[in-house]
A and B are shown apart, each in its own frame.
Chain A
Amino acid sequence: MAAISRDEVAHLARLSRIEMNDAELDHLASELDLILGAVARVQEVAQGDIPPTSHAIPLHNVFRADVVKPSLTPEESLSGAPATEGPRFKVPQILGEAE
């Protein structure tokens, strides 16, 4: 039984706004399946006595004081944007079809 189905890959691609054709989906589904299989081997080592972690180092409570520091200028902020209008970022139509 595959770890990830072709349909699931297609769904993820849609959520991620990545356009994929049939050949790409076939290819990626089998490739992702292999990758997930490799990652799953970690489960064999990590038994119940090892809690899942999101971090390699056991750090907690890394905070900063609530102090304002200078921001970028709008020109700097917008400088990497593909499109702008006035002081704002310009993006293509957000909801197309029947979303």
Chain B
Amino acid sequence: MPMNYEQATAAYEPTLGLEVHVELNTKSKMFCSCATEFGAEPNTQTCPVCLGLPGSLPVVNAMAIESTILIGLALNCSIAPFSRFARKNYFYPDMPKNFQTSQYDEPICVDGYLDVEIETDEGPKTFRVDIERVHMEEDTGKSLHVGGSTGRIHGAEYSLLDYNRAGIPLVEIVTRIVPGTGKYAPLVARAYVTELRDILRSLGVSDVKMEQGSLRCDVNLSLAPIGSDKLGTRSETKNVNSLRSVERAVSGEFVRQANRLESGERIVQETRHFLEESGETRPGRSKETAEDYRYFPEPDLVPVTPDADWIEELRKSLPEKPSLRRKRLQEEWNVPAKEMESMVNAELLDVVEETVKLGADATRARSWWLGEVSRLANEKEVAPTTLINANQVAEVIALIVTGELTDKLARQVVEGVINGEGTPREVIDKRGLKVVSDDSALMIAIEAAIAAQPDTAERVRGGNLPAAGALIGAVMKATGGQADAAKVRELLLKHLGQS
């Protein structure tokens, strides 16, 4: 009987390590001025530098350095006063230069940490993930493997290359090994990548879209029998492209390795690929050792020596940490943790905060964004923020508060704005959605209702207030639901001498 996850975690202690690659969102590439648009036609964003043509020379993108320093600072790293690029030599055609410009022993940022909180059986617990280094490199081209049954590199007859992505600035964030996570290793891994993603997003340095590959995670895991102080052999799982997959990759590898060790087999140090469908991993190429890459300092680039003033200036510009911001907003808005989580997961926290800043109350802002707007966005399969902005939602909410719109009318206004009928005001005018609050217009409807139901009116006059419901209903019907019911009631009762 193979071990399941529970049995595996009862017998083995994991050691976790995570490497995250993040594509920066600079307009131009790392070492040349080609554009970095995602999804452009193949090989339309290439030049002699990123194609590695003879005689071309790279020049470093200042914005990429700035973004990397920001990342380092946000992760509590020291910024190296002197750092250098290095060539990582290898012969896959995803880099036309036959090397990747990277950093080796002199990265820009070193020795940081990131604290992540997870729910354990004993309540919330914080794990400190030490960051070994944050270094700069360039992304590789995209290969399309042709022939063979699987579209995989193995068995392919030939491959086709698009170098648009080659040379896009890439930052690699490497943790030290994270010991002592036990059965929580998958949750710690996921929480780390989530928190890192939120930080990167708050810095505005990357799109951090895992599904588009602008944030990619490699999971290193090794196991040792509980109580042994030795480290096991690790595997490196690549291709982990969602937060959920990070969690699944760790638990999947945990079980696989435990079962191998249990049956007396050896763990091979290798690169494995995560399979989205099954949550399992399959072996990839066996890892080349660092020596095989024959790193050496890049002679075409000069060292980077950021001065202290620049670093301090960047440090001052750091935004509030996402974890602290979430706590602050949760308190300010007085919402349960679950609600906060759904806003974060729906990527609506920013826009809800913006809407609140524009004067909307937090409860309404949250429920409009998570409710009606998200529903319409789901129907259209787009992000809610592409349909309507915070200003417009805040305006609709303000009109609800002043009584000019009912919730029902407000939904029609939102729908109109989303359909491109203009601003909320314009939609209200065009569709004639305004709540009828003009007293004289209402009085006409009230008198008509009384004339139609004289007996009911008489009962109300006699003090039977619940009977007023029928008259109010008639007025609402006559005004097409656009009247404010509370206002109608007030006017009606006054008219019948009951207030």
Contacts and interface: CB of A to CB of B under 8 A. Distances in A.
Interface string A1-40: 0000000000010011100000000000000000000000
Given A77-B46, A85-B160, A89-B161, A68 B27 contact: yes
A64 B143 contact: no
A61 B153 CA distance: 39
Nearest to B288: A15
Contacts of A93: 156-159
A62 B306 CA distance: 11
B93 A77 contact: no
B60 A64 contact: yes
B118 interface: no
Nearest to A18: B91
Nearest to A69: B33
Interface stretch (B62-70, B391-399, B403-411, B473-481): B62-70
Interface in A67-99: 67-69, 71-74, 77-78, 80, 85-95, 99
A8 to B, nearest CB: 10
Given A90-B158, A94-B156, A54 B297 contact: yes
Nearest to A88: B160
Interface residues on B, range: 35 or more
Given A66-B27, A66-B28, A67-B33, A94 B153 contact: yes
A1 B434 CA distance: 94
B302 interface: yes
Interface residues of A, number: 37
B60 A63 contact: yes
A59 interface: yes
B427 to A, nearest CB: 38
A87 B141 CA distance: 14
Contact of A89 (B33, B48, B84, B160): B160
Contacts of A74: 41-44, 46
Contacts of B206: none
Given A65-B63, A90-B159, 6 more contacts: A54-B303, A62-B59, A66-B63, A68-B34, A78-B43, A94-B153
Nearest 8 A/B pairs, CB to CB = A54-B297, A66-B63, A69-B33, A63-B62, A88-B160, A89-B161, A87-B42, A59-B302
